[in-house]
Amino acid sequence: MIKYLVLLAVVGLAIWWLRRGRASDDAPRTPPKKKEQGTTRGPAPPTPMLACAHCGVHLPQAEALTDGAGRPFCGEAHRLAGPR
Protein backbone atom coordinates (compact mmCIF):
# COMPACT_ATOMS: atom_id res chain seq x y z
CA MET A 1 0.00 0.00 0.00
CA ILE A 2 2.83 2.40 0.84
CA LYS A 3 4.51 1.87 -2.54
CA TYR A 4 1.30 2.98 -4.30
CA LEU A 5 1.17 6.16 -2.20
CA VAL A 6 4.81 6.92 -3.01
CA LEU A 7 4.19 6.27 -6.71
CA LEU A 8 1.13 8.54 -6.64
CA ALA A 9 3.16 11.30 -4.92
CA VAL A 10 5.96 11.03 -7.50
CA VAL A 11 3.50 11.19 -10.42
CA GLY A 12 1.72 14.14 -8.83
CA LEU A 13 4.99 16.03 -8.32
CA ALA A 14 6.03 15.32 -11.92
CA ILE A 15 2.74 16.67 -13.28
CA TRP A 16 2.97 19.76 -11.06
CA TRP A 17 6.58 20.38 -12.15
CA LEU A 18 5.73 20.05 -15.85
CA ARG A 19 2.72 22.38 -15.61
CA ARG A 20 4.71 24.98 -13.68
CA GLY A 21 7.44 25.02 -16.34
CA ARG A 22 4.96 25.26 -19.20
CA ALA A 23 3.02 28.14 -17.59
CA SER A 24 6.06 30.42 -17.74
CA ASP A 25 6.52 29.56 -21.44
CA ASP A 26 2.92 30.52 -22.24
CA ALA A 27 3.31 34.00 -20.75
CA PRO A 28 2.90 36.70 -23.41
CA ARG A 29 6.16 38.32 -24.40
CA THR A 30 6.27 42.01 -25.11
CA PRO A 31 8.59 43.26 -27.84
CA PRO A 32 11.38 45.62 -26.76
CA LYS A 33 10.44 49.28 -26.85
CA LYS A 34 11.78 51.34 -29.70
CA LYS A 35 14.04 54.25 -28.89
CA GLU A 36 12.52 57.65 -29.42
CA GLN A 37 14.11 59.95 -31.93
CA GLY A 38 16.51 62.47 -30.44
CA THR A 39 17.10 60.68 -27.15
CA THR A 40 20.38 58.86 -26.85
CA ARG A 41 20.67 57.17 -23.52
CA GLY A 42 23.77 55.20 -22.97
CA PRO A 43 25.75 54.17 -19.96
CA ALA A 44 26.57 56.86 -17.46
CA PRO A 45 29.94 58.50 -17.95
CA PRO A 46 32.70 57.14 -15.71
CA THR A 47 33.29 58.89 -12.40
CA PRO A 48 36.66 60.63 -12.13
CA MET A 49 38.95 58.83 -9.69
CA LEU A 50 41.47 60.58 -7.44
CA ALA A 51 44.39 59.21 -5.46
CA CYS A 52 44.61 59.99 -1.75
CA ALA A 53 47.54 62.36 -1.14
CA HIS A 54 48.46 60.40 2.00
CA CYS A 55 48.12 56.69 1.14
CA GLY A 56 47.53 56.64 -2.61
CA VAL A 57 44.21 54.78 -2.53
CA HIS A 58 42.00 55.68 -5.49
CA LEU A 59 38.45 56.80 -4.75
CA PRO A 60 35.64 58.57 -6.62
CA GLN A 61 35.95 62.33 -6.79
CA ALA A 62 32.55 62.73 -5.11
CA GLU A 63 33.75 60.82 -2.01
CA ALA A 64 37.13 62.52 -1.64
CA LEU A 65 37.83 65.04 1.10
CA THR A 66 40.09 67.96 0.21
CA ASP A 67 42.35 70.18 2.25
CA GLY A 68 42.87 73.92 1.78
CA ALA A 69 45.27 73.34 -1.12
CA GLY A 70 42.72 71.15 -2.96
CA ARG A 71 44.58 67.85 -2.43
CA PRO A 72 42.26 64.82 -2.23
CA PHE A 73 42.19 62.50 0.79
CA CYS A 74 40.32 59.24 1.43
CA GLY A 75 39.22 60.11 4.96
CA GLU A 76 39.36 62.64 7.76
CA ALA A 77 42.31 60.95 9.49
CA HIS A 78 44.47 61.15 6.38
CA ARG A 79 43.36 64.72 5.73
CA LEU A 80 44.50 65.68 9.21
CA ALA A 81 47.77 63.74 8.81
CA GLY A 82 48.55 65.59 5.60
CA PRO A 83 50.28 64.46 2.41
CA ARG A 84 53.34 62.22 2.38
Sketch the domain layout of the chain as residue ranges.
49-81
Looking at every residue in the chain, the average pLDDT score rounds to 86
In the prediction, which pLDDT does 8 show? 95
pLDDT at 24 over 70: no
pLDDT of residue 52 exceeding 80, the answer is yes
Angle, CA 6 vertex, CA 4 and CA 12 arms, to 5°:
100
pTM for this one?
0.49
Q: Where are the beta strands (DSSP E) in 6-81?
A: 49-51, 58-60, 65-66, 72-73
pLDDT attached to residue 42: 80
